[in-house]
Structure 1
Amino acid sequence: MNWWWSRSINTALQQNVEYCGTHEISYQNVGLVIGITGVVGNSLAETLSSTDTPGGPWKVYGVSRRGKPVCSIAKVRYIQCDVSVSTDVQAKLSTLKDVTHIFWVTSAFDLSTAKCCEINGAMFRSVLNAVIPNAPNVCHICLQTGAMHYMEIQRSIDGKLHVISHDPPFTEDMERLENIHNFYYTLEDVLFDEVSRKPSLTWSIHRPDLIFGFSHHSMLNIVGTLCVYATICKHECIPLIFPGTKEVWDSYSNASDANLVAEHQIWAALGAQGKNKAFNITNGDVFKWKQLWKVLAEQIGVEYVGFDETEKIISLSEMMKDKGTVWEKIVRDNNLVSTTLREVGLWDFADMLLAGGTSRLCSINRSKEYGFIGFRNSINSFIFWIQ
């Protein structure tokens, strides 16, 4: 059975590489994951460390600003490095001479600004400049961007969000939006410049939509954020009300399972069909928030209400302003890993996502046409990452 298909239906063997005494493992490939503590970085760490992963056994370097996380993968070599500081990058990454594949799954996220483009472009360029000249066997770069490639969100003076977008479903052959600041475009330009100077170096671009995954430290961990919201509702004995618009509640949406995104990147990095192309990557189905909200309530064990048309839209950012001590008590009472509410709750991101404003469905036909057969059931994926 195909490895990607097996993982999609949860029959693949997923085990970490084990060392036996002082036996030295002969690695077939060496992955450098920039953003190892993010939702996809975490999935790449686990997937590349599995014994049955194609291209393996893999040696894995994981780079993050915070260093080794509490929930770390035993066989990943964690490197604490601030990729926004070029001297730190040169000192710590130029020594990695055995790297064969670079996985860029990080960003300095903000609404579209020229400064955001400058910062993200400089980080990416700094890493490539440190690694590629010193690692002669580097053969492929995976660049992760996202469905925001096809749209721009602007905040007006009154604080309201306005969306400029292509007409969905989004396809990879759509032209870039004009006269906007989108750091995904900047990252692509840095990538194209780098590979143009080394003909043997291949690349792939991966554009997930809303990512379902796990991370203690990510600006885009929507599953974790909603679990924290639901847990606080349960603790305070109040119902779980949907904090978004009726439009978002009823509309179809895409999700991208973090493990699936990792598998997609490995597929492109190893196979000829996935090289030198950009791909959308979603689970292959659609969901409605009205479906997931009931699942969330059941999983957390909180009273389900859903969307209440009699109430005005809830701002999670406002609602959670004074809940820091509540979260501290929940952590203490349940013997959880010590975290602050600021660390685990991405309220501005959740408010922006659930406020809606436009459909953002993506077509994944190109991935299927070039041979990628991985998929996920979005409801099952949501449950998996909650648990």
Structure 2
Amino acid sequence: MSWWWAGAIGAAKKKIDDNYEPTQSYQSVALIIGVTGIIGNSLAEILPLSDTPGGPWKVYGVSPSPRPTWKPDHPVSYIQCDVSNADEARAKLSPLTDVTDVFYVVATCTSEANGSTLRNVLRTVVPSAKNLRHVCLQTGTKHYVIEESLDPPFTEDMPRLKNKNCFYYTLEDVLFEEVKKKESSNVTWSVHRPNTIFGFSPHSLINVVGTLCVYAAICKQEGSPLLFPGSKEAWEGYSAASDADLVAEQQIWAAVDPYAKNEAFNCSNGDVFKWKHMWKVLAEKFGIEEYGFEEGKNVGLVRMMKGKERVWDEIVKKNRLKEKKLEDVGVWWFADDVLGVGGMIDSMNKSKEHGFLGFRNSKNSFVSWIDKYRAFKIVP
């Protein structure tokens, strides 16, 4: 059974090898920039596995914050480093001369900041890592949608929008520019554009599953209905999602497969869903009987969750949860962004044509990540 197929059908749900033993001989060395993020966390789980393509892998993980208490004990060399600071990035990343593959899976809020942060990393790693082979850059479906939208389903050959403020475009331009500077021309790249990501990372700015779990827990605590906070278009229309493990698998595939070099790929689960069906799943997982969409009450989570800190404090104390502050686990503005639109459908044809056949059942993915937030005592 091939590796991507095992992941697709869920046979690889247990990520940490029981018999894992560190090895002194590695075929590949990964540098994950953004290791505590929603994709970085999945990469940190999957790369060290004994059957991961390109392995055995040695893994460095970089984050600006200390290693979080919820972070599983992956066999990853954790480096606390603010890569937006050029001097700090140079000091802490230049000694990593054995890196063969960079996975850049972090994003800040502005085009300029994103571009300079990626540049700081590549200007350090590209010259110092003599055996560097590949750079994976993660962007997203917003490549096709800013203030205006291209006509879905989105395909990778669509032209860029005229809006120059899309930081994804900036990131791509920096990637192409810096990789070309490598003296040898054999460093390759890939760009990965996931849709709405279902995954695990309590402090990620793009954590929709965790945020919805927190909202549901508050509704359950108050005895209030689980009202859909987004638009009718999102409630009734089709949406797509990207399982975080699937995105990580696609990036690893791109790093090791010659047919994936120097290409951009969409990455979604391969199916579609409606939020009105997923909402029923969320309500059932938290034991909420009354739920649904009510016109006029869909005012967004930013408004609906204002002043709920005391309720969350009660939930934390009652259930002995790990995350104490509501603002640390509820990314209301991002959930409002996701649930405010529908029809953001992308095509996976190019990815499949190049050889990546991984997929996920979006409903099962949603449930599995809810279960993980509970298992790690982030939500009750």
TM-score, normalised on structure 1? 0.92
2:268 pairs with one of 272, 276, 282: 282
2:241 matched residue in structure 1: 255
Whole-Å separation in 2 of the counterparts to 1:205 and 1:68? 27
Q: Give 3-state SS (helix, strand or coil) of 2:148's partner.
A: strand
1:82 matched residue in structure 2: 82
- Checking the alignment, whether the CA contact within 8 Å between 1:234 and 1:303 is kept in structure 2 is no
Structure 1 runs (4+) deviating above 4 angstroms are 17-20
1:14 matched residue in structure 2: 15
1:246 matched residue in structure 2: 232
Give deviations 1:251-308, integer Å, cap 9, x for gaps. Answer: 0011000000000000000000111100001000001001100000111112232112
1:157 matched residue in structure 2: none
1:70 matched residue in structure 2: 69
- Checking the alignment, whether the CA contact within 8 Å between 1:35 and 1:106 is kept in structure 2 is yes
Give deviations 1:211-261, integer Å, cap 9, x for gaps. Answer: 000002100000000000000000011111111111110000110000000
- Checking the alignment, whether the CA contact within 8 Å between 1:31 and 1:102 is kept in structure 2 is yes
Whole-Å separation in 2 of the counterparts to 1:9 and 1:339? 35
- Worse-matched range after superposition: 316-325 or 34-43: 316-325
Question: How big is the alpha-carbon RMSD for the aligned residues of Structure 1 and Structure 2?
Answer: 1.4
Establish whether residue 313 from structure 1 lines up as the match of residue 280 from structure 2.
no
Distance change (3 Å), C-alpha of 1:247 and 1:179: closer
Establish whether residue 345 from structure 1 lines up as the match of residue 298 from structure 2.
no
Q: Deviation at 1:18? A: 5.1
Distance change (3 Å), C-alpha of 1:24 and 1:180: closer
Distance change (3 Å), C-alpha of 1:90 and 1:18: farther
- Checking the alignment, whether the CA contact within 8 Å between 2:29 and 2:58 is kept in structure 1 is yes
AA aligned to 1:14 is K
Whole-Å separation in 1 of the counterparts to 2:179 and 2:126? 10
Distance change (3 Å), C-alpha of 1:204 and 1:17: farther
Using the aligned pairs only, state the percent identity: 57
Establish whether residue 196 from structure 1 lines up as the match of residue 180 from structure 2.
yes
Q: Deviation at 1:40? A: 0.4
Structure 1 gaps of 5+ residues are 110-115, 153-162
Q: Deviation at 1:180? A: 3.0
Q: Give 3-state SS (helix, strand or coil) of 1:60's partner.
A: strand
Count of paired positions: 367
Whole-Å separation in 1 of the counterparts to 2:104 and 2:165? 20
Distance change (3 Å), C-alpha of 1:24 and 1:290: closer
Q: Deviation at 1:17? A: 7.6
TM-score, normalised on structure 2? 0.94
Establish whether residue 268 from structure 1 lines up as the match of residue 254 from structure 2.
yes
Q: Deviation at 1:339? A: 2.8
- Checking the alignment, whether the CA contact within 8 Å between 1:225 and 1:346 is kept in structure 2 is yes
Whole-Å separation in 2 of the counterparts to 1:237 and 1:62? 41
Establish whether residue 122 from structure 1 lines up as the match of residue 116 from structure 2.
yes
Whole-Å separation in 1 of the counterparts to 2:350 and 2:20? 39
Superposed counterparts of 1:179-194, under 5 Å: 179-194=163-178
Distance change (3 Å), C-alpha of 1:313 and 1:196: same
